Amino acid sequence: MNYIFKTPRGIQVERHQRAIDFRQGIAFIIDELDHRRGMILSSGVEEPNRYTRWDIGFIDPPIEAVACDRRLRLEALNRRGQELLSILKTLVFSRGDSDLIEESPFHLLLEVKKGETGFAEEERSRQPTVFSPLRHIIEEFAGLEDRFLGFYGAFGYDLIFQFDPIEYHQDRSSKSKDLHLYLPDQIYVVDRRKEIAIQYDYLFSTDQITVKHEDRSPFRPLSRRLASGHSSSPQPLLSDFTDEEFAAVVEETRKYMLVGDIFEIVLHRKFSVDFGGSPSMLYRRLHELNPSPYEFVCQFGDEQLVGTSPEMFVRTERDRVESCPISGTVRRGANPMEDADKIKALYNSEKDEVELTMCTDVDRNDKSRICLPGTVRLLSRRLIERYAGLFHTVDHVEGKLREGLSGIDALLSHMWAVTLTGAPKRRAVQLIEKLEREARGWYGGAVGALLFNGDVNTGITIRTVHLEGKLAHYRVGATLVYDSKGQEEEAETRTKSTAFFNVLTQLGSLEMSVSAAKVGHPSMATSKQGAGLRIILIDYEDSFVHTLADYFRQTGAHVTTYRHTKALEDLIHLAPNLIVHSPGPGRPVDFSVPHAIRYFAGHHIPQFGICLGLQGTVEAFGGELSVFAEPRHGKAWQVWHSGSDMFDGVPSPCRVGAYHSLYAIREKLPGCLEVLAENEGGVVMAVRHRELPIKAVQFHPESILSMEGSVGHRIVTNVVSTLQKQVSKGSEMVNDHW
């Protein structure tokens, strides 16, 4: 299906489209971007009313736009671009707000004039900036019914100073760029929801000029050296701040907050490492580890941006403008139960709620500058979004643009996201310029598109690797309020860098991951502490016995489960190295647990009891039980322990799961039993016999409530490991050894 559109000045755009194989998609572009200019933009997540899964990509674009300060250079990159540049030239100077500095058949260099002072704040986004020539081009195509043709690229942090100038403190390189965009004339689009893929080709023409050349070969091809593979040896990670320095500057900001200069500020640090890999390699690993709504590769020739950003900057569609401020971060746990606790802690964190509240209030203010009165609305509050290694809380805000304003006005009015600057925004930006070690470059800006139909779609340039020569840079910030603590915020920068550290470690470019080690259970898949051991688990009609058996099997032991009705003599004949007494309902005497414990003790067989097993151990040697006023079912205890070998590597206190109504009366505990652990109320949580090889715990190691820090796994592993050592020695199992 073809489509033709003609602008008021007689510029004609003819669009041709054809279907391509959805199964193959446009993955080939990722590899081509190792040595050809272009971009790929992708959404790796589906979030109702916010994000859908799609891919957009192009290579060998005809036109490039690069800005530094108030100068904008438009350059033709191939023969088609040379003709297209002649068509666009008449548009960039149409309003008289730019001067021509330099011109050739292949480029235009222009400088945007400074605007008048004394304008109303509502008109700030209409003042001349390097966006003005781009705005003039886009406005010429008003009414275009096309969702993909436009400028694509990256917008640098320093663009904010054209919107609202401040005094510089950091040095800027003469080669620094504030904006780098492409105008492609062949665009590939994949809609993963509809499972379709389309190639769009655009032909520009006027009465005098037609972009008729089919040759898209670039005038200046890129070298293939970027696809050289990963580093030959791991490299150390460098940072512009030491941990102590970053923590100290966090504390310094609190002084400004104390006197009311700022309420909130986002400071960042930069990590760098030698990296000889390709952008495609890096992108695929980041995508695999950290699917995000704004994934991208920007191949600019002299540098590359590879990112998986979680945060929308500004998105406009016709007169609707929206954004999704993110603030509040917590590291993910080792499993879903720990994740649930992390989410609960994040959601209950007053500090994180305050941070997001400030961010959203400033974001609403940015919209109120350009939107119709009463149209700025909060759509969602403190949603939880999940990414590699961490959780975020997110708000969703929308508004309706005033008549005569466009997506570019929305982009300018929001510069830059309060989640990357602070509040009050202008004062925070001034302080950032003073306190940070160097200019931010691309960090904190945006990546995305200014479309010819007037729409804008951009994501914030965070979670982004900047490849420059043989170096990979990764910048990460922390949102600071008065309650912030230096060490905690420094640690947060590392938490947010998890995906970057992990990718570089996998690719062999980093000596070791410097992020905090993710806590998991102690390598159950590979640790074989129980290899060769025979364990019999007696089932006292419990609901969790097979989970418990699985925990023991993960140590490499051979585990067999029998109901409590199995004759004890038959179990002895199986020559077990360990008897495990399961939890169960009722009282121990209902299943003759005390009798079984005494019986196996008489045969010098080591035993380990859980819940009912502990209660049976207490009664077996003359102790007594009592009943809680309210049962403790499916709830957690905090447990303090004495540091015995059963609790080796287990923090004290630790969180464990409980399913019991009975408990051992401490005052009537037999003298032969030693208390190894107790809960917050002093209730006995673990014991061992002083002379016999018997241990027991009152809680459930196999419960999901015992997953935090892999407490349950560690206890089971410790029991088996200690047993294995003694079996290997052939020594008799007594208290000193077990």
Q: Which sequence positions are flagged as catalytic?
A: 611, 700, 702
Give every CB contact of residue 250 below 8 A, 6+ residues apart in sequence.
Answer: 267, 478, 480, 484, 485, 486, 489, 490
- Give the strand pairing for 71-76 and 264-274: unpaired
Backbone angle region of 132, left / alpha / beta, with phi > 0 → left and psi within -120 to 50 → alpha: alpha
**Could you tell me which of 454, 453, 4 has the C-alpha nearest to residue 202?**
4
Burial code (b: 16+ CB inside 10 Å, e: under 16) for 41-54 equals: bbbbbeeeebbebe
DSSP 256-298: HHHTTS-SEEEEEEEEEEE----HHHHHHHHHHH---SEEEEE
Helix (H, G, I), strand (E, B) or coil at 52: coil
Backbone angle region of 174, left / alpha / beta, with phi > 0 → left and psi within -120 to 50 → alpha: alpha
Residue 8 burial (CB < 10 Å; 0-12/13-18/19+)? Answer: exposed
- Give the strand pairing for 150-155 and 446-451: antiparallel
Give every CB contact of residue 242 below 8 A, 6+ residues apart in sequence.
Answer: none
CB 267 within 8 A of CB 435: yes
DSSP state of 178: S
CA–CA separation, 275 and 287 (whole Å):
18
DSSP state of 226: G
For residue 546, how many other CB atoms are within 10 A of its CB?
16
For residue 398, how many other CB atoms are within 10 A of its CB?
17
**Could you tell me which of 641, 636, 642, 629 has the C-alpha nearest to residue 656?**
636
Q: What is the CA radius of gyration of the chain?
A: 33
CA–CA separation, 256 and 253 (whole Å):
5
Residue that is written with structure tokens 């004039």 in the block: 113
For residue 233, how many other CB atoms are within 10 A of its CB?
9
Residue 224 burial (CB < 10 Å; 0-12/13-18/19+)? Answer: exposed
Residue that is written with structure tokens 């408990």 in the block: 663
